[in-house]
Amino acid sequence: MKHLYLGNEAVARGLYEAGVRVVSAYPGTPSTEITEAAVKYPEIYCEWAPNEKVATETACGASIGGARSFCAMKHVGLNVAADPLFTMSYIGVNGGMVLAVADDPGMHSSQNEQDSRNYARAAKVPMVEPADSKECRDFTKLAYELSEQFDTPVILRLTTRIAHSRSIVEDGERKELPLKEYKKDPAKNVMLPAFARPKHEKVEARTRTLVAYAETTSLNKIEDNGAKIGVIAAGTPYQYVKEAMGDTVNYLKLGLVWPLPEQLIRDFAAKCEKVYVVEELDDFIETHCKALGVEVTGKALFPRCGEFSQKLIKKLLTGEEERSLSLEAEIPVRPPVMCCGCPHRGVFYALKREKVYVSGDIGCYTLGASAPLGAMDSCICMGASVSALHGYNKARGAEGEKKSVAVIGDSTFAHSGITSLIDIAYNRSNSVVIVLDNSITGMTGHQQNPTTGYNIKGEPATAVDLEALCHAIGIHRVAVVDPYDLKEVTRVLKEELAAEEPSVIISRRPCALLKYVKYNPPLSVDQDKCIGCKACLGIGCPAISYREGKAVIDGTQCVGCGVCKGLCPKGAIG
């Protein structure tokens, strides 16, 4: 049967057909849908792990145990997973192991724009990169064959456009594989220095063997159109060049992007008068070509930052401007905002009003940095808000401690905030940490996490008791507030900032978009009482606007949270 699969859905189909047994992941756009699609196959055990390191280690253990295993993450998640990945490169596999990483050129939903191909080279593991949904399925299956043939984990690299674009895939049958026998072998699986030293030599030998494989594999192919111009590309850029240039150039399409072939590139370049390397982000392929003595044009022409497009490729290669439709009227900018009734809004309003330094984190609440709230001073990576606040306060002392907080979501706290809070308790900074508990992993589309009480299938599961956890690691002051109650939030915030010891405030209310949340009737503005002071606009709620000198609430958007009521000096909202 044929399906129009997302690239991520096609990867999940590949996992099913490859006979994978164990899947562990942490949700991260643009990789999330792989695991969400895989869980629909009852033959595959799937789970949400607390973070990418745990997910990778779970896949490592399953591989050692004889099963084909898989873990998925976005590019910044690979930073978290790097520790086990580098050592598994030495250990190798029993059952095949594949790690999928989804890069985000253009930073559509990410804090940086890193190129994960560099990890494949650094960890000395093969990486394959599909260019459409069919290849997502096919390359996933082939990655397991490579993994077991060469005794190595394999990285499957996606990008946002491949992960979230659809193309036709014809389903195949599942390959039922018996669980491989586990044999105790410390020299293979225990990376003490004495065992690891010879393993490094084996890894280098494996890379040489994989280079030879790269010369002949069907993953890399030449499309000879009899042209004088040649293009070397992989993944999304290959599709862009094909659409922009058609059959007017020759192509070397790379599906195995590490290790890269050598003679194949030389032979391809020898038949062309000029060769371009078209790749997003780093000059990964270009540097390899030049090291081989092959003259290519890459980043001297193509940008290092951001996504490419068919229009950009055509302009840079031919100088021709692609015609496109344009709108005469300017479309107003619509930046992302927190939803109507978002429980985070009241907390950020209180923080702004108290003029507090806010060490921020990754999640929906990162939008607290945007106007009109503007209540976030820094945001580094997941879990960093807590430990960065500790460092900020150690640097500034009492001056910082009395006017600074960290904010972190429940899922992010479980991901990597707990150890940071331990650092605060252990090394004693008078830091206030606000856990924004909205009972779900919101930003990536409502995935369960260890604090929600449900697993990936929605089945009841053990839930982390945040209050008990905070007490157990040495935080004596723990307060729970309703973020809709601005007066209570402000009172508790002032109280904890004044305290002479570390404390945690848990702001607890479910995400307004959860299906089980019951909305209150929408509010409205009494136009006779409204004086047009715009105080209600300060919370940045999308349901509130200003027309003809008066505030107006859109009843189709308002969920009746009531946060705006407390801001009106004339009691006009009700």
Question: pLDDT per residue over 506-555, tens digit each?
Answer: 999 999 999 999 999 999 999 999 999 999 999 999 999 999 999 999 99
Name every residue whose Cβ is closer than 8 Å to that of residue 546 and which is 6 or more positions away in sequence: 532, 534, 537, 552
| Statement: 2-216 belongs to CATH 3.40.50.970 | yes
Q: Identify whether the C-beta of residue 205 lies closer than 8 Å to the C-beta of residue 97.
A: no
Spell out the alpha helix ranges (H) of 272-383.
284-291, 310-318, 344-353
d(CA 344, CA 364): 9
* H or E stretch covering 374: none
Q: Write down the pLDDT at residue 313.
A: 94
Which CATH number, 3.40.50.970, 3.30.300.30, 1.25.40.10, 3.60.15.10, labels domain 344-508? Answer: 3.40.50.970
> Tell me, what's the pLDDT at 323?
72
Question: Where does the chain hold its CATH 3.30.70.20 domain(s)?
Answer: 518-574
pLDDT the model gives residue 332: 77
221-318 CATH choice from 3.40.50.920, 2.40.480.10, 3.40.50.2300, 3.40.50.300: 3.40.50.920
Residues 6 or more apart from 366 whose CB is under 8 A from it? 360, 376, 379
The series of mean pLDDT values per 10 residues for the chain, 574 residues long, is: 96 98 97 98 98 98 98 97 98 98 94 96 98 98 98 98 97 96 96 96 98 98 97 97 96 98 98 97 98 97 95 92 68 84 95 96 92 94 96 94 96 97 96 97 93 96 97 98 96 97 97 94 95 94 94 95 93 93
- Cβ 223 vs Cβ 295: under 8 Å: no
Would you state the structure tokens that stand for residue 437, as one six-digit string?
A: 């508990």
pTM here is: 0.94
Say how far apart CA 59 and CA 24 lie, in whole Å: 7
How far is 68 from 59, CA to CA, in rounded Å? Answer: 8
Name the β-bridge partners of 434.
Answer: 407, 505
3-state SS class at 361: coil
Length of the chain measured in residues: 574
Q: What residue ranges of the chain are covered by domains with CATH 3.40.50.920? A: 221-318
CA distance 158 to 72: 10
Q: pLDDT value at position 329?
A: 66
Please give the Cα distance from 62 to 54 (Å, whole number).
Answer: 12
Question: For residue 425, how far is the Cα from the chain centroid?
Answer: 29
Burial class of residue 443 in the structure, from the number of CB atoms within 10 Å of its CB (0-12 exposed, 13-18 middle, 19+ buried): buried
| Cβ atoms 382, 411 nearer than 8 A | no
DSSP strand pairing (250-253 vs 221-223): antiparallel
Continuous segment of H or E residues that includes residue 85: helix 75-91
> What is the b/e burial string over 392-409, where b = at least 16 CB atoms within 10 angstroms of the residue's CB?
bbeeeeeebbbebbbbbb
Contact (CB, 8 A) for 57 and 87: no
Instruction: Give CA–CA dist 567/419, Å, rounded.
Output: 37
Tell me where in the chain the CATH 3.40.50.970 domain(s) lie: 2-216, 344-508
Please tell me what DSSP assigns to residue 381. Answer: S
- What totals of helices (H) and strands (E) does the chain contain, helices first? 20, 21
Q: Which CATH architecture has domain 518-574?
A: 2-Layer Sandwich (3.30)
The three-class DSSP label of residue 508 is strand
